[in-house]
Amino acid sequence: MNTMSKLSRKDLYSLEEYSEIRDEFRARVIAHKKNRRLDLGENVVLFFEDRLVMHYQVQEMLKAEKIFDAEGIQEELDAYNPLIPDGTNWKATLMIQYADVAERQQMLLKLVGIENRIWIRVNDMEKVYAIADEDLERTTEEKTSAVHFLRFELTPSMIAEIHKGGQIAAGVDHENYPATVDRVADNVVRSLASDLHSIQ
């Protein structure tokens, strides 16, 4: 199974099939997602998306909305397929999390533009800054959103280094929220490497 191929209707379980395997499938996805989370400081988290995670999201939406007609299923596929990596990139959901609602509202005013200041670096190569919110604009001049969708586009040489076991650093270059992770955990790097084509 190509982990980068988009989902189609034939990949999905029927509502009846899904109800039978849901607990097992959900447990597998939860375990998988542990290797796809990257905390940037205390309040910003990246959740790297992939085919398995999107498959689960689609199945959950179909179940919740009781969708079984072809048009409705295709709408869900069209919504979630763009979040599956293409073999040269990583795709992530950026979450800005503050437990206190008032503090969160205040920080969203201070963090305008943060989605464009998230970076990843392979070894000592150039930083790759995220391309944010290609589907729709989530920031106004006054405040940012608590959720953004990001794409990190990598060069062939970066991909080659990752497959050789290169180190990944990540961070945020925003004046009101500077954060750096000097070395992303090995389990996360291994999981992210599987999103990328092998460079011949």
pLDDT of 143 reads 86
Task: Look at residue 110 and tell me if it is in a domain.
Answer: yes
The SS3 assignment for 48 reads strand
**pLDDT tens-place string over residues 155-183:** 999 999 999 999 999 999 999 999 999 99
Phi (first) and psi of residue 130, to 5 degrees: -65, 145
Task: Report pTM.
Answer: 0.92
Q: Are 73 and 12 in contact (CB under 8 A)?
A: yes
Residues of the chain above pLDDT 70, percent: 94
Indicate the number of domains in the chain.
1
The SS3 assignment for 168 reads strand
Q: Are strands 131-132 and 128-129 parallel, antiparallel or unpaired?
A: unpaired
Burial status of residue 48 (CB atoms within 10 A of its CB: 0-12, 13-18, 19 or more): buried
In the block, tokens 């940012």 appear at 144
Task: Look at residue 200 and tell me if it is in a domain.
Answer: no
Task: Look at residue 135 and tell me if it is in a domain.
Answer: yes
The boundaries of the domain holding residue 109 are 9-193
**pLDDT tens-place string over residues 81-140:** 999 999 999 999 999 999 999 999 999 999 999 999 999 999 999 999 999 988 766 666
Task: Look at residue 1 and tell me if it is in a domain.
Answer: no
pLDDT surpasses 70 at 3 = no
Task: Look at residue 15 and tell me if it is in a domain.
Answer: yes
